[in-house]
Chain A
Amino acid sequence: MDKEQEVLIEPVSEKPSSSPGENMEKSISSVGKRYVGFDRLKKKVTLNRILKTVFVGLASCYFVSAILLLLAIRIPTPPELKSPLIGVSILLGMVIGGLVGVGVYFIQAKSDMGLAKKFDSDFALKEGMQTSLEFSGDTSTMKVLLDEDLRVRASKVDTKQIKIKKLPLYIVALALSATMVISMVFVPFNVIVKKPEPETPFKLTEMQEAQLEAIAIRVESSAMEQGAKEQVASEVRALKDALKVTSLKSDADQLITLSTEKIDEITRKTGTSYLIHDILIEDDTAFTREIARLITMLDWEKYSSKREKIRAGFEHKEFGTEMADIQKINKETAKKISEASSGLKSALEVSGLDTADPLYSELSECAIELELLASDLENGYINYLNTVGSKEGNGQIIEAISNDIFAQLDKQNQSYSVGFGASDEIRKMFGMPIPQREDNSSEEKPKDEGETEDEDEDKKGDGGYGEGDVFGSNDLIYDKDKNAHIKYGEVIDIYYQLMGSENYTDEEKQVIQEYFETLFRGLEEEKGE
């Protein structure tokens, strides 16, 4: 029996309220039917059970939440963890409260027979209800009389009097637990405060001051664009002045970072390669994006290597295999080249860039060259090998992505090298990392078997003769006199012409020899770098 729920009602009189004979018709009509009184009382009991469940569940929820909240608030934790902990505490409290409520509901649950026994006990029905329930299907006279008697008795029961025992206790418990939760608002947070690291002092040394001044002077006397070099020199001097009055390393680092980034920004604007890169790198076409990366290569070695990778991207996997269909290979390769060309062309057209820009022009030229190549390949005017080439031999694709593009880059690199050189030197001076200038990100593409990483390859093109390092005719070497890169093939042709000419004496040939050696030594120096 549920001891908690006390039925506060006077027991009904033991004797039936009316003799069966007076309610004969009612008695007969109740045959086989469940007496209404039971269901009415059961409904009230169920309602009370739900109410009690709510009380207990809520009180448990509030109580558990309050305890967990107190723990969350008072246990020392970093400030950023407080909100999540509080949230978890409330959530956990709700879950536990819900579970307790559900548990209470089901613990209180009684079968119909259990309820019938309870009603018999509470209303002094002398086991009448449980007897009637047990004989539910019975249609005998006694059953009829019993049900009628119960109906009369049960109808006298006012369900309002069926109350939850100790209800005030539940209300008080709920109020107390709610108060506990609310009071958590006034509990101060206990947070772990990180001790600030002691500030490292900073003092600009005389040497550093002098170095900064030297950098500014070097920039002013460089071949950098006039407006830009004035800005850069001014920025360097401003940095120097600011660092002279800075006493903390953190402040100094911040100043240096801002200053060098500004110098880099000024430097980038001296050319168009970074601007074009930022636009082309967003293009949908992979080839266009590769071109964008290509034009950030600041030296020939890297440029050449990148270009070779682009070329390799056009190689057909079936070429050279036993079942190769040459026509199909040519067609597919032509299509690929054409798509690459179209992509680059479209990207340039919509870029909004100045069409008069030399680098822009060279890139446009590249797109046109590629389109012509594609057409010729498709029509059979040229073959696959001539077009795409191989690692051993340059194809015409390499020609299309011409050295002229690099030549334009090279011109821009003159300012870049000054500006970036200045900012990198400043960074190095103060122990700060030097940023990557080139865009070395790569397209993810499936590799054929046996394909090796291009980065480890000899970046110089193959070709030519002789022992030792072999240079391709399209490789560029730096001519100090001309202050420009020139093709190796052209140089070696000139060399052989001069050396083979009968117009020069041996002494003159010796001078020529030394000159070319100087050139080749430059190559070696580049290699050594």
Chain B
Amino acid sequence: MNNINVNKDLEKVSMFSEKVAKIKNELKKDVVGQGEIIDGVIIAIVAGGNVLLEGVPGVGKTRLVRSLGRVLSLPFSRIQFTPDLMPSDVTGANVVEKDENGKLNTSFRKGPIFANLVLADEINRATPKTQSAMLEVMQEHKVTVGNDVHKINEPFFVLATENPIEQDGTYPLPEAQMDRFMFKLIVNFPSDEDLIDIVKMTQKTMDETASAVINGEEILEMRRLASEVLITDEILAYAIRLVSNTHPELSKSCPVTKKYVKYGASPRAAQALVTCAKVKALMDGRYNVAYDDIDALAFPVLRHRMKVNFTAVNDKLGVDDVISMIIKETKKVR
């Protein structure tokens, strides 16, 4: 084994935790509390996935994403989705321009999607057509306008927000688009202590003071390192079994699933679980994935990819409750 390479890698691994700590510390300057959300967002970004943030207005979703953009020193853009937003408003369009000689030329004017970090605010207010435009970009990291294909620079993340209470005039995200989000994080109302801190902080200034501590290349390097974290076949099988157990149509799924689940998560969920578990392990200072990592990440990975049926609603069980029960059942055969 080449000692020089080992030493280099060891250094990088040791820097990983430091970088994560720096990101968190900077974000704390602008965002009070929401530790789990911050962790989830960092995990998703390092893993290379998109995040859907759901929460009531004013809990700091947009502020978080903006601060994140500054901390990561990534070109950031914000798209406020409204019902009249067109796809070209997102992706950009060809425009006809007159040059200095008066000749008419067409050129592609890039849309706000051409950033490394995109905040898609209130995504569920846009029409399905506009949502589909987002879908292509989120999936393929490129925009096709006419015959031209325009690639998005890496790293590319979409952090979308949706407001759960405003159901009028919203278009629920289709399953295909939901599946593109690695995580769905529920931003809860801050605790009283956090709220006091928020009020105190904003009384002084509303400015966001977090500064850049990491760049895109470093994020890509972190992603590469995280992919090397070790995972045993047994834990891998556990993750897959967990996702399989969300499908009621499968004979092997547990009784809870058959009773409460309408449809289960896609194979992307299994990929997301494993990828994010590796990141989480490394963030926790470990070099191998543990069962607890899978269990902890099951909620943000699965909650938007599966749907509960009326029986669950009737029994006053939310999707997280059902996920919890499925985890318990799956653990029995561990």
Which A residues are within 8 Å of any B CB, using their own CB? 14-16, 19-21, 24, 27-28, 31-32, 126-128, 130-132, 134-135, 138-146, 149
Q: What are 29 sample pairs from A and B whose C-beta atoms fall under 8 A apart?
A: A14-B286, A15-B284, A16-B285, A24-B7, A24-B10, A27-B6, A31-B1, A126-B290, A127-B235, A127-B289, A127-B290, A128-B286, A128-B287, A128-B290, A131-B231, A131-B232, A134-B232, A134-B233, A135-B230, A140-B230, A141-B13, A141-B228, A142-B230, A142-B288, A143-B230, A144-B10, A145-B10, A149-B286, A149-B287
Q: Is the CB of A140 within 8 A of B228?
A: yes
Q: Given A20-B13, A24-B7, A142–B290 Cβ distance below 8 Å?
A: no
Known: A14-B284, A15-B285. 7 other contacts (CB 8 A): A20-B10, A20-B13, A126-B288, A128-B286, A142-B228, A142-B229, A149-B286
A135: chain B residues within 8 A (beta carbon):
230
Which of A127, A134, A141, A149 makes the CB contact (< 8 A) with B10? A141
Q: B166 near A: Cβ within 8 Å?
A: no
Q: B291 near A: Cβ within 8 Å?
A: yes
Closest chain-A Cβ to B229's Cβ sits at a distance in Å of: 6
B233: chain A residues within 8 A (beta carbon):
134
Report the bound CA distance from A15 to B290 in whole Å: 14
B9: chain A residues within 8 A (beta carbon):
141
B285: chain A residues within 8 A (beta carbon):
14-16
Q: How many residues of B contact A (CB 8 A)?
A: 27
A141: chain B residues within 8 A (beta carbon):
6, 9-10, 13, 228
B289: chain A residues within 8 A (beta carbon):
127, 131
Q: Is the CB of A142 within 8 A of B232?
A: no
Q: B292 near A: Cβ within 8 Å?
A: yes
A-B pair number, CB within 8 angstroms: 78
Question: Which residues of chain B from 102 to 117 have any CB-CB distance to chain A below 8 Å in the complex?
Answer: none
Report the bound CA distance from A186 to B235 in whole Å: 61
A131: chain B residues within 8 A (beta carbon):
230-232, 288-289
Report the bound CA distance from A226 to B281 in whole Å: 123
Q: B217 near A: Cβ within 8 Å?
A: no
Report the bound CA distance from A31 to B13 in whole Å: 16
Question: Which residues of chain B from 228 to 275 have any CB-CB distance to chain A below 8 Å in the complex?
Answer: 228-235
Q: B3 near A: Cβ within 8 Å?
A: yes
Report the bound CA distance from A412 to B233 in whole Å: 107
Report the bound CA distance from A130 to B292 in whole Å: 15
Q: Given A126-B290, A139-B1, A145–B7 Cβ distance below 8 Å?
A: no
Closest chain-B Cβ to A320's Cβ sits at a distance in Å of: 95
Closest chain-B Cβ to A124's Cβ sits at a distance in Å of: 10
Q: B14 near A: Cβ within 8 Å?
A: yes
Report the bound CA distance from A134 to B291 in whole Å: 15
Q: B11 near A: Cβ within 8 Å?
A: yes
B230: chain A residues within 8 A (beta carbon):
131, 134-135, 138, 140, 142-143, 146
**Which of B285, B288, B291 neighbours the largest number of chain A CB atoms within 10 Å of its CB?**
B288
Q: Given A27-B10, A134-B232, A142–B287 Cβ distance below 8 Å?
A: yes
B288: chain A residues within 8 A (beta carbon):
126-128, 131-132, 142, 146
- Residue on A nearest B228 in the bound complex, by CB: A142
Report the bound CA distance from A144 to B6 in whole Å: 9
A31: chain B residues within 8 A (beta carbon):
1, 6
Closest chain-A Cβ to B285's Cβ sits at a distance in Å of: 5
Question: Which residues of chain B from 1 to 22 have any CB-CB distance to chain A below 8 Å in the complex?
Answer: 1, 3, 6-7, 9-11, 13-14
- Residue on A nearest B235 in the bound complex, by CB: A127
Closest chain-A Cβ to B235's Cβ sits at a distance in Å of: 6
- Residue on A nearest B282 in the bound complex, by CB: A142
Closest chain-A Cβ to B308's Cβ sits at a distance in Å of: 30
Report the bound CA distance from A360 to B61 in whole Å: 138
Report the bound CA distance from A15 to B286 in whole Å: 7
Closest 5 CB pairs of A and B: A141-B9, A126-B290, A131-B288, A146-B287, A21-B14
- Residue on A nearest B293 in the bound complex, by CB: A126
B231: chain A residues within 8 A (beta carbon):
131
A24: chain B residues within 8 A (beta carbon):
7, 10
Report the bound CA distance from A134 to B286 in whole Å: 16
A130: chain B residues within 8 A (beta carbon):
232, 234
